């Protein structure tokens, strides 16, 4: 998932991309986003079989 900046972005759009890039480097922002991502992936995973069901 690599977002792409348009060929001719407006000033506000460039500012928003810069802000997003800065946030992505901030550990206080990254940690909860990572936790949320892991929870989302786990909720989509099929349940694991019970030990006796393998």
Residue 53 has a pLDDT of: 64
Instruction: Identify the residue whose tokens are 């690599």.
Output: 2
Mean pLDDT of 23-42: 91
User: Residue 36: pLDDT above 70?
Assistant: yes
- Please list, in sequence order, all residues whose beta carbon lies within 8 angstroms of the beta carbon of residue 14, skipping any fewer than 6 positions away: 5
Please state the pTM of the whole predicted model: 0.54
**53 token code pair:** 């069901």
Phi, psi of 43 (to 5 degrees): -70, -20
Mean pLDDT of 15-26: 91
Angle ∠(42,28,31) on CA atoms, nearest 5: 15
Pick the range with the lowest mean pLDDT from 13-17, 23-27, 42-46. Answer: 42-46
């Amino acid at each position: 998932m690599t977002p792409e900046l348009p060929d001719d972005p407006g000033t506000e759009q460039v500012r928003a991309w810069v802000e997003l890039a800065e946030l992505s480097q901030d550990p206080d922002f990254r940690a909860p986003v990572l936790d949320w991502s892991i929870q989302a992936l786990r909720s989509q995973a099929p349940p694991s079989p019970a030990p006796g069901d393998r």
